Amino acid sequence: MKKTLVALALASFATSVAADSLVYGGAMVGQSDYDGETSTSVEVHVGTGILPFIGVEGGYIDHGSFNINGTDLSANSLYGALRPSIDLGPLHIYGRVGLHSWDSEYGAIKNDGVDPMYGVGLEYFVFGPVALGAGYHVYKMDDEDVKNFSLTATFHFL
């Protein structure tokens, strides 16, 4: 239910500003680190610009599965974030700050919550509307952090 509410809020906000804005979507693959354990992560995201230097973005990330004390922990997040950015020719540098609704499963124990997330990244426009880049993001989960380094491919529609 939390995920549906966050998605609806993002969608209603995005449609109100999309008429005059840049719209983009992309995917990331990378490595998440949780309490010293690492796993492969995947993410999809969409966003729109509010002004030339700030936008809003929403996405889903599967942080992966970690072996903690012999028990598997899996986690995923649905997030909404503000994305300030600057363009330096074909180089696009951005930040992300927002909230994420996360779910985790540690053996038979399920947990969820809403916590802050933040990060930085850069993209380089390789041809036309296609940009390739890298990012580093931190997702708070109660008292722990899931740190994520990823490579990204983004397509800018408008």
| Token pair 């036309």: residue | 128
Per-residue pLDDT band for 126 (boundaries 50, 70, 90) equals: very high
pLDDT, position 146? 96
pLDDT, position 157? 84
pLDDT, position 15? 32
Residue 80 has pLDDT above 60, yes or no: yes
| Short-list 16, 4, 90, 89, CA closest to 49 | 16
More confident residue, 107 or 16: 107
Prediction pTM value: 0.82
Per-residue pLDDT band for 12 (boundaries 50, 70, 90) equals: very low
82: tokens are: 């503000």
- Beta-bridge partner residues of 79: 59, 100
Mean pLDDT of 116-134: 94
Residue 14: which domain range? 2-156
Q: How many domains does the structure of the chain reveal?
A: 1
CATH at residue 67: 2.40.160.20
Residue 67 has pLDDT above 80, yes or no: yes
